[in-house]
Amino acid sequence: MNIGIIGAAGRMGRMLIMAVNATDGAVVAAGSEAPGHADLGIDLGVLAGIDGMGVNLGDDAAALFQASDVVIDFTSPKVTETHAKLAAEHGTAWVIGTTGLEAAQQDAVTNAAKKVAVVQAANFSVGVNLLLGLVETAAKTLPDSFDIEISEMHHRHKVDAPSGTALAMGHAAASGRGVNLDDVSVLSREGITGERRSGDIGFATLRGGDVVGDHTAMFAATGERLELTHKAASREIFANGAVRAAMWTQSQSPGLYSMKDVLGF
């Protein structure tokens, strides 16, 4: 498969180049960055610290979609929204790891999925997606007397909070309890908040250093506490999962899919 990588010069982009290069049956067809980027014109293999591959970093996202069977997109919500039209126009499958999308931006993704296969995930790690299933099962199994709190920590450069993975854990917990997360979520606490409201799902966000991603779901009751935790030590797990999803789209009809579909959970 010809795989295009948007944001190819970034930390995740370089990891994706290496992951595609190491995958049988896949080649890096194109890589792009925003116009004016300092690395434009450099060979993608050189950017990733491997042998040159004869494909240089460009700034034309439309050309990238045209040259690719599937595009992997780890960018920003606003940029990802503009790619929805390109994916639909060129009939190019699309793998999205961008988090923090607003309602209109998510609508653009959903509309693109009417014409092409789209895999969207807050986290492409196999372990995290298993964690989401465990969180939903725990929330469904444990009585409502267990309070649910979700904590996450990421590196100092992360711009959205809570993380997309933390929110996905919240949705999993809410699904297990048969409620809507928007109705029960507490995204932050400050000042005199009063007692914790029964049934709430709370979030705590930490930022610092070079932490790749730590996530914990806590189920706390009188006399006992259950904690489900995933800790990522390298972005390689996200890159490998995204490439796996990209390869999976080859035989899929248009639609909006998740990593649960890719992994067969």
Positions marked active-site: 154, 158
Measure the CA–CA gap between 92 and 71, rounded to whole angstroms.
7
Place of tokens 């970093």: 57
Q: Which two tokens stand for residue 17?
A: 């180049």
What is the C-alpha separation between 162 and 258, in angstroms, rounded? 20
Beta bridge partners of 142: none
